[in-house]
Amino acid sequence: MFRYLGLFAAGAVLALAMSAPASAQSMRYSWSVPGGRADPAVNNYLSARYDRLLQISPRFRRYRMWKECHTITWPGLRQSCLASFDQYEPVLYRR
């Protein structure tokens, strides 16, 4: 009797979960307020600011390259990661 009690309990929980009605919820972030990070205009601004800093700040660029690529240990992929910075955010010099 006690041998099957755990199996019966698991089956009951599974049956209860399967019989519960599914409710569709909208895709909304709890922190999605106008002017917040989820706002597309703010996201675009922050993305452009990040790209600009990569182009004009050598110190920020070195830090981001280290942060994004230092954990890659697969042969050749670390070099590809570092090269992607030159491809997508080339260095611009301030005048």
pLDDT digits (tens, 9 = 90+) for 56-90: 999 999 999 999 999 999 989 999 999 999 888 88
- Residue percentage of the chain with pLDDT more than 70: 58
The tokens for 50 are 């990040």
Amino acid letter, residue 14: L
Task: Judge contact between 17 and 53, C-beta under 8 A.
Answer: no
- Residue percentage of the chain with pLDDT more than 90: 42
Backbone dihedral region for residue 76 (phi beyond 0: left; psi -120 to 50: alpha; all else: beta): left
